[in-house]
Amino acid sequence: MSREALQDFLRAVMHHQGLRRKVAQCSDDDQLLALARRHGFKVVQRDLREDAQESAITRWFETSRIQRSFRSPPSQTPPS
């Protein structure tokens, strides 16, 4: 549930200029988490850590040479 709150908070930041300005003024995670809570989002430090780890893994797969082995082969239509 908390991870969903982080995603909801990020969507709110993307759509509200005032909230974007407030996020830009945060100098550390504690300020960011406090801001999120003040706006009703139940985000915790673990959510930020897990999101950072997931982003790093995603970037690795996007740049890895082995990523091609995980893709589905293009569909082929049988000859008529």
Domain boundaries, the chain: 2-64
Q: What is the pLDDT along the chain (80 residues), one digit of tens a residue?
A: 467 888 899 899 999 999 999 999 999 999 999 999 999 999 898 888 887 777 777 777 777 766 555 555 555 555 65
C-alpha 11/C-alpha 15 separation (Å) is 6
Locus of tokens 């569909």: 75
Nearest CA-CA partner of 9 in 26, 59, 53, 62? 26
Amino acid at 39: H
C-alpha 8/C-alpha 15 separation (Å) is 11
The model scores a pTM over 0.75: no
> Token digits for 17?
């200029």
C-alpha 3/C-alpha 1 separation (Å) is 5
